[in-house]
């Protein structure tokens, strides 16, 4: 009887002790939350506090401006932020959440969300555990900074670094990087095309550089019309263009070049000057070693084409001049 009484007294004390500890934690949590809210309410960042049980205790007013949802809507969503993550970033976000769920401080993560209006915004998310004076885990404090404008500027700079400013085609640097990547890859065959815009110097000298630039832009449009969106079409020099066609066999690539020649002829049909005329070299590589030499080989073939076109033009001009000369010869007198 005495033992049972002692056990009851012990359990009562234990329960009271636990109650006091819980009350102390609740008081501590309330104090932290009040201080946190005072600071966060004035922040331009989206700030939240998540309890150990996953309940959203606080969402700052800035969250509404960024997401389009009210703070109450965000709280009611439970996992709030997770439901807004862009589908393509979900796997990355889940990994980030698992690390944060273990009470670990995590590195900032750049992630996209879909706002209430369906817009995509970029945010940097960072969070860290909130620990009380006794070291108890009180939840997670997170901060989300809207970096959409920065990402847009980065994308513009990336585009500019990879593109030719005059034509919008890829730059020489990007082309060479893609060639190197394909050499190290497994996608074969790969067809490489080299093309020189003939007569550009003469256009610049006779009509001015503005006319030459216009001719370059028109030439670039022909490439964009013919080649696939997956092909790497680049301007690699003043009058030099190049194309990488991954997975393109020689027969299919030849047909594409025939279509390009037809388009070139159609463009020139109603124009006297300046006309678009390309010398073209094509080489199809079936393995990394031959692809590494493809640029040089296509270049050699292109210059053969250039010489052949010059020869043909010379013959045509001589034929025309000979015909014109015969037309000017006086007719023989009729015999008396």
CATH superfamily of 163-319: Reverse transcriptase/Diguanylate cyclase domain (3.30.70.270)
Per-residue pLDDT for 17 more than 80?
no
* Cα distance between residue 162 and residue 168, in whole Å: 9
| Omega before 20 within 30 of 0, i.e. cis | no
pLDDT value of residue 106: 67
Average pLDDT over residues 194-202: 96
Average pLDDT over residues 122-126: 94
pLDDT digits (tens, 9 = 90+) for 308-332: 999 988 887 777 766 666 666 555 5
Q: Is the pTM of this model over 0.85?
A: no
Q: How many residues would you count in the chain?
A: 336
Q: Tell me which residue of 278, 282, 192, 288 sits closest to 239, measured CA to CA.
A: 278
pLDDT digits (tens, 9 = 90+) for 66-105: 999 998 888 876 556 788 999 999 999 888 888 776 655 5
Higher pLDDT, 75 or 253: 253
Higher pLDDT, 38 or 110: 110
CATH 3.30.70.270 domain residues, the chain: 163-319
* Cα distance between residue 137 and residue 139, in whole Å: 6
Given a contact cutoff of 8 angstroms between Cβ atoms, the answer to whether 243 and 229 are in contact is: no
Return the bridge partners of 123, or none.
111, 146
pLDDT value of residue 7: 62
Per-residue pLDDT for 265 more than 50?
yes
Average pLDDT over residues 19-42: 64
**Range in 169-178, 201-210, 315-324 with the lowest mean pLDDT:** 315-324
pLDDT value of residue 323: 65
Residues 6+ apart with CB under 8 A from 220: 166, 167, 168, 169, 233, 235, 241
pLDDT value of residue 39: 57
pLDDT digits (tens, 9 = 90+) for 23-33: 676 666 666 66
Average model confidence (pLDDT) across the chain: 86
Alpha helices in 141-229 (DSSP H): 148-162, 172-183, 200-207, 209-226
pLDDT value of residue 284: 98
Average pLDDT over residues 218-245: 97
CA 61 from chain centre, in angstroms, equals 32
Helices (H) and strands (E) in the chain, counts: 11, 9
Average pLDDT over residues 133-160: 88
pLDDT value of residue 336: 42
Per-residue pLDDT for 207 more than 80?
yes
Given a contact cutoff of 8 angstroms between Cβ atoms, the answer to whether 258 and 235 are in contact is: no
CATH 3.30.450.20 domain residues, the chain: 21-153
**Range in 213-217, 241-245, 314-318 with the lowest mean pLDDT:** 314-318
CA 300 from chain centre, in angstroms, equals 33
Higher pLDDT, 44 or 85: 85
pLDDT value of residue 125: 92
Average pLDDT over residues 5-21: 63
**Range in 47-51, 83-87, 198-202 with the lowest mean pLDDT:** 47-51
Higher pLDDT, 298 or 6: 298
> Binning pLDDT at 50, 70 and 90, where does residue 198 land?
very high
The topology (CATH level 3) of 21-153 is Beta-Lactamase (3.30.450)
């Amino acid at each position: 009887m005495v033992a049972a009484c002692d056990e009851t007294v012990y359990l009562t004390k234990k329960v009271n002790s636990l109650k006091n500890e819980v009350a102390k934690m609740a008081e501590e949590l309330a104090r932290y939350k009040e201080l946190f809210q005072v600071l966060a309410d004035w922040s331009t960042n989206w700030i939240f506090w998540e309890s150990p049980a996953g309940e959203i205790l606080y969402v700052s007013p800035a969250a509404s401006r960024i997401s389009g949802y009210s703070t109450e809507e965000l709280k009611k969503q439970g996992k709030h932020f997770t439901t807004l993550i862009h589908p393509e970033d979900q796997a990355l976000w889940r990994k980030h959440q698992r690390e944060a769920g273990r009470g670990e401080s995590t590195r900032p993560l750049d992630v996209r969300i879909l706002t209430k209006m369906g817009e995509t915004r970029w945010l940097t998310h960072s969070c860290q555990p909130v620990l009380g004076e006794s070291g108890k885990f009180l939840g997670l404090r997170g901060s989300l900074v809207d970096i959409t404008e920065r990402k847009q500027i980065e994308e513009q700079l990336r585009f500019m670094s990879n593109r030719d400013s005059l034509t919008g085609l890829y730059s020489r640097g990007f082309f060479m990087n893609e060639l190197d990547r394909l050499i190290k890859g497994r996608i074969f065959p790969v067809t490489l095309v080299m093309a020189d815009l003939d007569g550009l110097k003469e256009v610049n000298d006779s009509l001015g550089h503005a006319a030459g630039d216009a001719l370059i832009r028109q030439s670039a449009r022909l490439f964009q019309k013919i080649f696939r969106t997956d092909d790497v079409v680049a301007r690699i020099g003043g009058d030099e263009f190049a194309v990488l066609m991954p997975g393109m066999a020689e027969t299919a690539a030849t047909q594409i070049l025939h279509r390009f020649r037809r388009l070139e002829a159609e463009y020139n049909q109603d124009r006297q000057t300046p006309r678009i005329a390309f010398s073209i070299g094509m080489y199809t590589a079936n393995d990394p070693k031959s692809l590494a030499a493809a640029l040089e080989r296509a270049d050699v073939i292109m210059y053969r084409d250039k010489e052949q076109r010059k020869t043909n033009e010379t013959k045509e001009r001589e034929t025309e001049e000979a015909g014109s000369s015969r037309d000017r010869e006086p007719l023989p007198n009729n015999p008396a």
